[in-house]
Amino acid sequence: PIGPWREEAQVGTMSPAIALAFLPLVVTLLVRYRHYFRLLVRTVLLRSLRDCLSGLRIEERAFSYVLTHALPGDPGHILTTLDHWSSCCEYLSHMGPVKGQILMRLVEEKAPACVLELGTYCGYSTLLIARALPPGGRLLTVERDPRTAAVAEKLIRLAGFDEHMVELIVGSSEDVIPCLRTQYQLSRADLVLLAHRPRCYLRDLQLLEAHALLPAGATVLADHVLFPGAPRFLQYAKSCGRYRCRLHHTGLPDFPAIKDGIAQLTYAGPG
């Protein structure tokens, strides 16, 4: 009777002591990874709550904001409006202005006749590419989610780009790539942007190679190669001997402390 009571009392008094012992560790982790916690709150917790309350996805809410605040036919103003909404209203998880400048500069520099984008999302990077295309240039962009693709389609047309210049294909990249030559008359992609799922980058790059869609000298750009990361893709690109690789270091939009980057690959040919 007395013994067990004393044992329970000791356990009860030890629990706060154990908690206090772990407190410095918890505080250290919160401080060190505070940017990741903020990102988690904005991209998962708050977004899920707003999705439930509004019945709309974040891309649909973003497009509603664009409709009331941006100038139709002005892609630059539409992009700026999306950046403002993402910074001040809801975090959009889009490419953002810093990476966007890198993308536009490379498109202008390479002047590709045909661009393939895998991962349209809300259409932000699509507008960046379309703005920088040379006269007569063509952009095919692929989005697997029909609801997201519907928003991107409206944004692209609102910016003033027609179907001849920017064609949006709804489907998974794994299914679309083998059909590009026969169904969409794409015989070569001078520039490719991988912006969908980093875990699919390696598979899709190898599909593009297998279907001979990359001419010698083609540029392949891959977003989010450091966060969340695409290590197998980077390892393959560096070790296979068919690419010259460069990494453009950046941070996430509104979270510059979270390091990310765009990989730039130049295809040397099948070898």
Give per-residue pLDDT as tens, 137-151.
999 999 999 999 999
Higher pLDDT, 81 or 22: 81
CATH class of 95-267: alpha beta
pLDDT digits (tens, 9 = 90+) for 182-220: 999 999 999 999 999 999 999 999 999 999 999 999 999
* pLDDT more than 70, % of the chain: 92
Q: Flag the least confident range among 7-21, 37-51, 103-117, 230-244.
A: 7-21
pLDDT at 68: 97
pLDDT tier at 4, thresholds 50, 70, 90: low
- Return mean pLDDT, the chain: 92
> Is the pTM value of this prediction over 0.85?
yes
- What confidence score (pLDDT) does residue 18 get? 72
- Residue 19's pLDDT is what? 64
SS3 of the chain: the string is CHHHHHHHHHHHHHHHHHHHHHHHHHHHHHHHCHHHHHHHHHHHHHHHHHHHHHCCCHHHHHHHHHHHHCCCCCHHHHHHHHHHHHHHCCCCCCCHHHHHHHHHHHHHHHCCCEEEEECCCCCHHHHHHHHHCCCCCEEEEEECCHHHHHHHHHHHHHCCCCCCCEEEEECCHHHHHHHHHHHCCCCCCCEEEECCCHHHHHHHHHHHHHCCCCCCCCEEEECCHHHHHCHHHHHHHHHCCCEEEEEEEEEECCEEEEEEEEEEEEECCCC
Q: What mean pLDDT do residues 40-49 have?
A: 92
pLDDT, position 14: 52
Would you say residue 172 has pLDDT above 90? yes
Q: What is the pLDDT of residue 124?
A: 98
Condensed to tens digits (0 to 9), the pLDDT of residues 198-208 reads 999 999 999 99
